[in-house]
Structure 1
Amino acid sequence: RILRLDGAAPDAGLAGETAIAEGVSALVNEFWNRHMDRIKPWYEPRPDDVILTASFDVTVGEACRRLGLNRLVSSTVDPRTMRVTCLNFNTNKPKRFREVVGPDTVIDEFYTDSRFDQPVIDMARTAFMVSGNRITQVK
């Protein structure tokens, strides 16, 4: 016998996928209800901000919505099936950024907590490394 991730039988089809999506949405909302205060206090969202992350859209998208941000370039997952559709990391980040935001978009300031983001640091006019509450200009 084969069971789906949500415990529904394989023939449950769309109803099972809807249940998965609703469950994920509830978990994500619960997470951000507890953790929105972890967004750095120095960060002030602006309408032209782009959140570029390896994290998944189903989680970070909710934080963006709460911050009033509309542009997210992230790893993606189909919330109905939980299948990964795109991994957005390392050299994929600049490629996906250009695909989603546009090939001529200039990155004025880039903030990161990882040297793995060097390909995007190279694209930016200025870049900053964030460690806790410490911000260091690296470009």
Structure 2
Amino acid sequence: MKADIYDFDKTIVPFDSGSLFVFYCMIHYPWCILLEVPILLVTGPLMLTGIISFTRFKKSCYLFIPLIPLEKAVNKFWDRYISKVNPWFYERKRYSIVISASPDFLLNEVAKRLNFDEIISTRHNPKTGVIIGENCRGEEKIKRLYAVHKPEELEVVDVYSDSYKHDKYIFSLAHGKCYHIEKGKKVPFDFDDVYNKGKNS
């Protein structure tokens, strides 16, 4: 099967959906602030100083989920932000696999609205907000992809992402073109040229 792979945040949309959703919930469900802000004030510096991993930090980001009507919040969030999707994404012609570190409870809804053929994202317990397994980032994206598809049965054609640094692994799968997303625009590049030069923006 031929397919294209897409990152989601700052690729299909021009923002980090997980972070924006947290901010959205703090505004629309302000009682969450009493729980979430103290937690982030502790775990944020611990993550920045390397005491805890990014995945461990992320496990603390959605602990407010039991305090909100999650399905309603997600639907209202995408009602507001679905118009921000980069127009070129609607022009896709091949089977589309979106692989993202953002939460499954957030991306499953937008996947329906945008008709992704397939979505792979970070799994969360929808009742507690806690991550199940590993954060779907970096090399973990490849592991998750090949947990679903046998490598010999999947031909990745084009790959799209905003991050040279974090998405080197999925870019390496492209048999067609690699596209770096810059200010919402697709900028093609050669994998060997970029990574031989050590570019990591």
SS at 1:49 equivalent: strand
Q: What is the TM-score normalised by the length of structure 2?
A: 0.55
Higher percent of residues as strand? 1
User: Equivalent residues in 2 for 1:95-134 (5 A)?
Assistant: 95-104=143-152, 105-115=154-164, 116-125=166-175, 126-134=177-185
Counterpart of 1:13?
none
One-letter code of the match for 1:98?
Y
SS at 1:77 equivalent: coil
Q: Deviations over 1:94-139 (max 9, x none)?
A: 1111112332312111110111100110111221000123211123
Gapped regions of structure 1 (runs ≥ 5): 6-18
SS at 2:121 equivalent: strand
Query: Residue 130 of structure 2: which of 61, 83, 89 is its match?
Result: 83
Percent pairwise identity: 21
Q: Does 1:29 align with 2:75?
A: yes
Q: What is the TM-score normalised by the length of structure 1?
A: 0.78
Gapped regions of structure 2 (runs ≥ 5): 1-31, 33-64, 191-201
Give the deviation of 1:46 after TM superposition. 4.9
| Root-mean-square deviation (Å) | 2.2
Equivalent residue pairs, number: 122
Q: Does 1:138 align with 2:189?
A: yes
